[in-house]
Amino acid sequence: MSKPVSVDDNSFDQVVLKAERPVVVDLWAPWCQPCKMIAPILDELADEYNGQINFVKVDIDQNPKTAARYGIMSIPTLLIFKDGQPVSQLVGLRPKRELKQNMDAALK
């Protein structure tokens, strides 16, 4: 079973921007109820896309620089990176189908 890996402000560039495959970044906080609701969906997707897409989590309370760098105003926010660049941004709780569409687009 594959699970999203936690990254912080210091490891973000290495883990996300220099990754050889697309990366889904879940920007969240422990107090955020929608963040807790989307977490199991992301766990499922991490399994489904294992070996194709990397999944990481960034706690914005502990890592404010990353949140500020990408102008995160609401959580949960999912950023999908490809070749070190954000190619998709999804804000709020979204259905799995919509998340998959964005992830499939990042694989093309």
Supply the residues annotated as catalytic. 32, 35
Question: Element (H or E) spanning 83, and its range?
Answer: none
* Alpha helix (H) residue ranges in 9-95: 12, 33-48, 64-69
Per DSSP bridges, beta strands 77-82 and 23-28 are antiparallel
Where in the chain does DSSP place strands (E)?
5-6, 23-28, 54-59, 77-82, 85-91
